[in-house]
Amino acid sequence: MSHDHHAMPTSDSHAGHHQPTTAGHHHNGGGGGGMHMMPMVFYFGYENVELLFSGLVINSPGEMAGAFVAVFLLAMLYEGLKIARESLLRKSQVSIRYNSMPVPGPNGTTLMETHKTVGQQMVSLPHVFQTFLHIVQVVVSYFLMLIFMSYNAYLCIAVAAGAGTGYFLFSWKKAVVVDITEHCH
């Protein structure tokens, strides 16, 4: 297989703006037909930028600004969704049990250790809701990954800035509970 053709950013008539090109066609045996090459370097461009779907193409600075805001909000809400799922999970946990078990102590004595067991029922409305939210979280995370993999620097900045802002806004409520009776085994 020849690696003669690579997508390279080229200058267009706009000073300082770069956009990826489809430099070259790859042919499959006797079949023919071109293949669009994705850029493999970060670039600042706003023309012919596909955003997740072939029909969603950015072609102007205004469209890029709108896409930036939308991607920023999506990344921010993704962070909020992660924290919300953790909070809902803590609220929906049931079946708290305390189990005591004998453990060897010093000088041949026996001590009782207490362990707390927390779980939730598999077939319950909270678990079904958690499952739905998990699916949404996975889909949104892959969308954000694919947006970042577009190598468009504006969109990459939107993903990173949105995730950082979302973490800042939502994660401070995340309480870390430390059980002082918990031991490492």
Q: How far apart are CA 36 and CA 34, in angstroms?
A: 7
Q: How far apart are CA 107 and CA 89, in angstroms?
A: 42
Cα–Cα distances (Å) from 81 to 130, 167, 173, in that order, read 11, 10, 13
Assigned token pair, 36: 């669009």
Q: Could you read off the pLDDT of 70-118 as tens digits, one per residue?
A: 999 999 999 999 988 888 877 766 545 556 677 777 887 777 776 665 5
- Amino acid making up residue 17: H
Bigger pLDDT: 101 or 149? 149
Whether the predicted pLDDT of 21 surpasses 60 = no
Other Cβ atoms closer than 10 A to 68? 20
Gyration radius of the chain's alpha carbons: 26
61-92 helix and 125-148 helix, angle to the nearest 10 degrees: 150
Q: How far apart are CA 123 and CA 32, in angstroms?
A: 53
Measure the CA angle with vertex 144, ends 35 and 14; round to 5°: 60
Cα–Cα distances (Å) from 174 to 81, 123, 134, 145, 169, in that order, read 12, 27, 18, 24, 11
> What mean pLDDT is reported for the chain?
74
